[in-house]
Amino acid sequence: MKHLRFHVSLYIIIPFIFAGFSIFSALLTFRVTKYSIEQKAEPATWVFWLVVAIGILSFAAGFSLVRFLLRPVELFVEKASLLPAFGEAPQRKSKKNWSVDKIEQFTSVFDRVTSVLSRIEARHFFPEIIGESASMRGLFSLIMKVAPTDSTVLVLGESGTGKEMVATSIFEHSHRKHKPFVKLNCAAIPEELLESELFGHEKGAFTGATSFKPGKFDMANGGTIFLDEIGDMPLNLQAKILRVLQEKEFYRVGGSITIKVDVRFLASTNKNLEKMVQEGTFREDLYYRLNVFTLHLPPLRERKEDIPALADYFLKALPKPVQISSVALQMLMAYSWPGNIRELKNVIESAAVITEGGFIEPPQLPGKITRLFARSSHESLDFKLPASISLDEKLNQIERSMIIEALTKTGGVQSRATELLGINQRSLWHRIKKLNIDVKSIKNYDS
């Protein structure tokens, strides 16, 4: 015999319990008062002891209920706090520490659990994109939302930030992933050949057209087309692209037959399209047709916490084993990277070529990086770490050094330190707790 089970929300059960207990207490008080009056006894004594009994019962019931609900949470927090991934300080292992704000502790652990799960999700769904910073995880979340749709996506970002990889990720997570994916760099093809590349041409359409040639839209039919650097597309072609976007049809060069096509559009550019529209160098109607869903890819200088992982990735891709010292890594993190990830890759490869001991040190880095680092932080050059420690430990030490340096410069004032570090005050507080930084000693030292 199958047993039916009904599940009622705690948002209903708990208020119902307390409401029922209140009604029961009121009725019981009324009955006791009435009984004492009938017995010609003083009701105040009876009511006093009834209130005491109800208070004790309420406290016991409330304590049991809270313990029943929070005990699983406390056990989870205790176990999670001991995991190496969270980097908890040793003193937090104490089970009975009444000075600890439980709600604050729960919030802190849950925030870190969410962060770790988000990073795991990023590694799982986007293994080809190296980036676990908050800005990149936010971008990944948007990709997962827009990828399953057929919406046109415009990827904006500086040169070298990886716009093509983002477009590829959108395609790989879409329902068209088993269909063609055609890429075309609009800036790499001469203007006079671009139309033929896009739409194809008929035999004899122009001098040299000795045979029929299908275009990129023919190849992408049923799948996805990615127009890289669409901001460099000539004005005369922009109108024809707009027609394909709106009507899903086009004419081949030299042809008179309308060709129907079913493609999803992805586009990218490192230019300011809004400004180009105002200047008349980009069609306004095409801009609004492309700008259905926009992804802003952050430059490397806005996600410097990803630099160690990127450097490690590029080093592992080299034909010979090469490591990088912690000081050299700090120099990479201090640089602004106008060329973004492409520039970082070139610097790593160049340094690996000239290094002799299989270990990249500051002398192997370009002068523009070492000079900038020396000017911005003289003391940081003395900060060295053993080459044998893991990447996570190295990141924790570098992060700790940067926070201590910021706190030292601001006299231990956390609100001012957040401005130097480019993070919010809550994030700084969690990092200070995680890395066991003694802010009081920094204040005392400064005074």
Q: What is the CATH number of the domain that holds 230?
A: 3.40.50.300
The reported pLDDT for the residue numbered 369 is: 85
Last residue of a domain, one of 20, 49, 84: 84
- Tell me: do 322 and 405 sit in the same domain: yes
The domain total for the chain is 3
How many angstroms separate the CA atoms of 62 and 119, rounded? Answer: 38
DSSP code, position 253:
B
Position 422 confidence tier, pLDDT thresholds 50, 70, 90: confident
The reported pLDDT for the residue numbered 270 is: 94
pTM across the whole model: 0.65
- Tell me: do 294 and 190 sit in the same domain: yes
- Does the residue 100 lie in any domain? no
Give the structural domain span for 40.
12-84
- Tell me: do 142 and 244 sit in the same domain: yes
- Does the residue 412 lie in any domain? yes
- Tell me: do 255 and 402 sit in the same domain: no
Q: Coil, strand, or helix at residue 185?
A: strand
Among residues 425, 440, 431, 401, the alpha carbon closest in space to that of 87 is found at 431
Q: Kindly report the average pLDDT of the chain as a whole number.
A: 80
How many angstroms separate the CA atoms of 279 and 231, rounded? Answer: 13
- Tell me: do 291 and 314 sit in the same domain: no
Position 404 confidence tier, pLDDT thresholds 50, 70, 90: confident
Give me the DSSP letters along 12-51: HHHHHHHHHHHHHHHHHHHHHHHHHHHTT--HHHHHHHHH
For 406-421, the pLDDT digits (tens) are: 777 777 788 888 877 8
- Tell me: do 140 and 48 sit in the same domain: no
- Does the residue 272 lie in any domain? yes
Last residue of a domain, one of 242, 265, 298: 298
- Tell me: do 404 and 329 sit in the same domain: yes
* Cβ burial, residue 205 (10 Å; 0-12/13-18/19+): middle
Position 380 confidence tier, pLDDT thresholds 50, 70, 90: very low
Last residue of a domain, one of 298, 330, 362: 298
- Tell me: do 184 and 305 sit in the same domain: no
- Does the residue 399 lie in any domain? yes
- Tell me: do 270 and 396 sit in the same domain: no
Q: Coil, strand, or helix at residue 162?
A: coil
CATH of the domain at 324: 1.10.8.60
- Tell me: do 186 and 261 sit in the same domain: yes
Q: Write the CB contacts of 258 (distance below 8 Å, at least 6 apart in sequence).
A: 249, 250, 251
The reported pLDDT for the residue numbered 6 is: 61
Phi then psi for residue 360, to 5 deg, are -80, 120
- Tell me: do 140 and 270 sit in the same domain: yes
Phi then psi for residue 98, to 5 deg, are -75, -10
Position 69 confidence tier, pLDDT thresholds 50, 70, 90: confident
- Does the residue 115 lie in any domain? no
Give the pair of three-digit tokens for residue 25: 């207490």
- Using the Cα atoms of residue 39, residue 41, residue 47 and residue 53 in order, give the sign of their dihedral: negative
For 312-364, the pLDDT digits (tens) are: 999 999 988 899 888 888 889 888 899 999 999 999 999 998 887 788 888 88
DSSP code, position 156:
E
- Does the residue 124 lie in any domain? no
For 161-196, the pLDDT digits (tens) are: 999 999 999 999 999 999 999 999 998 888 888 988
- Tell me: do 290 and 312 sit in the same domain: no
For 74-114, the pLDDT digits (tens) are: 777 777 666 655 544 444 444 455 445 666 766 776 776 66
For 274-296, the pLDDT digits (tens) are: 999 999 999 999 999 999 999 99
- Does the residue 109 lie in any domain? no
- Does the residue 190 lie in any domain? yes
